[in-house]
Amino acid sequence: MIQRSRGGASVSSTQAVQMINHQGAVLLDVRSIEAFHGGHIPQARHAPLPDLEKKAASLAKDKPVILVCEMGRSAVGAATKLRALGFTAVSILDGGIKAWTTAGLPLTTK
């Protein structure tokens, strides 16, 4: 079940995996380049907040997008920005990368 938070839809790590596998959701990691290179979710694209609009320009606005940050808070501003740009299916990874790793899910540095 997708929950609503202050920033919009919030999805658990398990829900995110299902959305990636069954709906072709795109992961956008809004953390710093250093944090991203230190370990990120496989298939995630780096899209720091200052570059978010440019990075999102190549995405279909009706395709599910899951925003990832360290703990799930910084992604709120990114979600607001994407919705203002016309994206219709924006979610935030509840608990961010911390929750992902706590759930035992993989990270990559590639």
What the block records as the tokens of 31 is 């953390």
Q: Is the Cβ–Cβ distance between 108 and 101 less than 8 Å?
A: no
Active site residue 31: no
What the block records as the tokens of 3 is 């929950």
Give the active site residue among 16, 25, 52, 69: 69
CB-based burial label for 25 (10 Å; 0-12, 13-18, 19+): buried
Q: Which residues are catalytic?
A: 69
